[in-house]
Structure 1
Amino acid sequence: MKSIKQIGRHALVLAAVLTACAVPAWAASAEVTFVAPDGYADIGRSSRDRDEALAGLKAHLEKAAESALPATQKLSIEVLQVNLAGEVEPLFRHRMEEVRVLRQVSWPSMKLHYVLRDEAGTVLKEATTELSEMDYLQRLSGRYSGALQYEKQMIDRWFASEFAADRRSSL
């Protein structure tokens, strides 16, 4: 009869093998690079705001690629320009603060260069594109909230229109 210690070791080995088999060798992913972010039109004023916005955009672009692309593709994105929704304006109360004011004329926009490759490294698509959401105040759906909600919606719309055919053709 096997001891509980031996059974535990066998179960651990089995779990490790099953986990390794479940992870695909290639998963849809995005590599996001910010090119000269100090020259972006509007990414926030403070270094903290800029760092948070860049991290949020990077995370969302990676998540969108994972959701929109087949597991056999990899997307490299260079973010060339960013202009967040709204404009930062002073707010005078007890002390000077700033607040982002959203108006119809201050829509979000981004300029990207991207390269889509298959698992062999063959370039499937490459382009420089400009994203913008001029009617961002009327189009926001309930699934977006919090920081960068308008930019996230714009990114998701772009992924849906730009990569929908790629997703269907790989299924």
Structure 2
Amino acid sequence: MCTRMLLLGGALALLSGVGSAVGEDGRVEVEFLSPEKYTDARLDDGFRKGASKGVTEGLEKYLRKRAPDHLQAGQRLHVEFVDIDLAGDYEPTTQIALHDVRIVKRIYPPRLVFRWELKDSQGGTLRAGEEDLRDLGFQDRGGGYDRDPLRYETHMLRRWLQDTFPRGS
């Protein structure tokens, strides 16, 4: 019965254009509102609008893993992504081999637009906000060769978590 309800809820979320995932411990909930309209959130077929599953799953997994370290006992975090524009872009080319190659240049900085709400153990709102994160210096950070396709976006989320929810506050 629970499995059917879970599957039904997931199917309804997909049909409504809203993706949602809750962390295993229930402390972090991530939603993607109308992901088919996102500016540039694809790791494949770059000339189409919308979000690819790899992007939404990657950002959701990152927040579920990292955000609890910044929350106090009993607190829960709800994040609703409104738009995503990944670092880089797909440039028009006449070469078939480069059709699906993301070109990363300073003129294509990453951008994450989302709303968030920090809740207490009873579900009351402690704090809330809206973010429009951009990292114009995304290529200036060291770190060498990194194969994570979402490294620039997760770096922005890491900084946001550190600034918004300093550990021990």
TM-score range, shorter chain: 0.7 to 0.9
Kept in 2, the 8 Å contact 1:28–1:69? The answer is no
Kept in 2, the 8 Å contact 1:73–1:118? The answer is yes
Q: What amino acid is aligned across from residue 81 of structure 1 in structure 2?
A: D
Residue 131 of structure 1, aligned match among 130, 133, 156: 133
- CA deviation vs aligned residue, 1:135-171 (integer Å, no higher than 9, x gap): 000025469641201111111011000111xx323xx
Would you tell me which structure has more helix in proportion to its own residues?
1
* Change beyond 3 A, Cα 1:109–1:88: same
Alignment of 1:109-128 (within 5 A): 109-128=111-130
SS of the residue aligned with 1:146? Answer: coil
SS of the residue aligned with 1:126? Answer: strand
Larger Rg: 1
> How far off is 1:70 after superposition?
2.0
| Aligned residue number for residue 18 of structure 2 | none
- CA deviation vs aligned residue, 1:89-120 (integer Å, no higher than 9, x gap): 35655656321111111110111111101112
TM (norm. structure 2) is 0.73
SS of the residue aligned with 2:102? Answer: strand
- CA deviation vs aligned residue, 1:33-76 (integer Å, no higher than 9, x gap): 000111111011538x7111111011112112122212321000
- RMSD of aligned alpha carbons: 2.6
Alignment of 1:74-113 (within 5 A): 74-90=76-92, 95=97, 97-113=99-115
* Change beyond 3 A, Cα 1:144–1:94: closer
Residue 30 of structure 1, aligned match among 28, 31, 53: 28
* Cα distance between partner residues in 2 of 1:136 and 1:66: 25
TM (norm. structure 1) is 0.73
Q: What amino acid is aligned across from residue 134 of structure 2 in structure 1?
A: S
Q: What amino acid is aligned across from residue 29 of structure 1 in structure 2?
A: R
**Range that drifts further, 147-156 or 68-77:** 68-77
Q: What amino acid is aligned across from residue 131 of structure 1 in structure 2?
A: L
* Cα distance between partner residues in 2 of 1:50 and 1:140: 27
The gaps in structure 1 that reach 5 residues or longer are: 1-26
* Cα distance between partner residues in 2 of 1:142 and 1:121: 42
Kindly tell me the number of residue pairs found equivalent between the two proteins: 142
The gaps in structure 2 that reach 5 residues or longer are: 1-24
* Cα distance between partner residues in 2 of 1:68 and 1:142: 27
Q: What amino acid is aligned across from residue 168 of structure 2 in structure 1?
A: R
| Aligned residue number for residue 73 of structure 2 | 71
SS of the residue aligned with 2:91? Answer: strand
| Aligned residue number for residue 168 of structure 2 | 168
